[in-house]
Amino acid sequence: MSRNFLAVLLALGLAGGAAAQEVADGPGPNLILDVAGQASGRIVIDLLPDLAPKHVDQIVALAREGAYDGVVFHRVIDGFMAQTGDVQFGKKGGDLALAGMGGSTRPDLPIETSAVPFTRGIVGMARATSPNSANSQYFIMFGPAPQLDGGYTVVGRVLSGMEVVDAIRKGDDRMNGLVTDPDYISAASVR
């Protein structure tokens, strides 16, 4: 196990010694999401380039371009996750009929797996059926989902603002979490 990977596990509270609630900011960049709508506030995500360098680079580039500004949380399943990041079809004020089906003009990415489990506050990359189809969309976990472990790329974890994540308007369970009048990212930045 590499020293960097062990440091990430310790920071996530997954390798003993650190309590899960005592999450320290890691060396990677932070993605800051200002959320508006029913939920209002700021979510700060510690991106984890040691685990997923290509995915983190893509998210950082898209955020710096302003691509995530105005993008809705189009799929939100209570107790599971809140999904956003469709920069092609998921802009507030537009036709959201295809939200969740798009990506960006950047190429899709090969999966970058890790041993980090999908638990509350973990951020993962959304993808189609191919493991190598992640592009711009990502999701934030409300709770544990071991069925995702090893099959999706972990890109980060929420440092602060889980109360904002919890307040995001939930979708219809009968429609796979489709949200009517969704909350959105008013601005995304990286620091």
Q: What is the largest CA-CA distance in the chain?
A: 48
Cα 92 to Cα 87: distance, rounded to the nearest angstrom: 10
pLDDT given at position 183 = 98
pLDDT given at position 27 = 87
pLDDT given at position 24 = 86
Tokens standing for residue 141: 């976990």
Task: Compute, in degrees rounded to 10, the torsion defined by CA atoms 100, 102, 108, 111.
Answer: 0
pLDDT given at position 22 = 53
Helix (H, G, I), strand (E, B) or coil at 165: helix
Tokens standing for residue 61: 């580039």
Q: What per-residue string of b and e applies to 120-147 under the rule 16 or more CB within 10 Å gives b?
A: bbbbbbbbeeebeebbbbbbbbbeebee
What single DSSP character describes residue 67?
A: T
Cα 112 to Cα 186: distance, rounded to the nearest angstrom: 29
pLDDT in tens, the chain (191 residues): 444 444 444 455 554 433 344 578 988 899 999 999 999 999 999 999 999 999 999 999 999 999 999 999 999 999 999 999 999 999 999 999 999 999 999 999 999 999 999 999 999 999 999 999 999 999 999 999 999 999 999 999 999 999 999 999 999 999 999 999 999 999 999 99
Tokens standing for residue 16: 């003993």
pLDDT given at position 12 = 53
Residue 91 dihedral angles phi and psi, to the nearest 5° = -85, 130
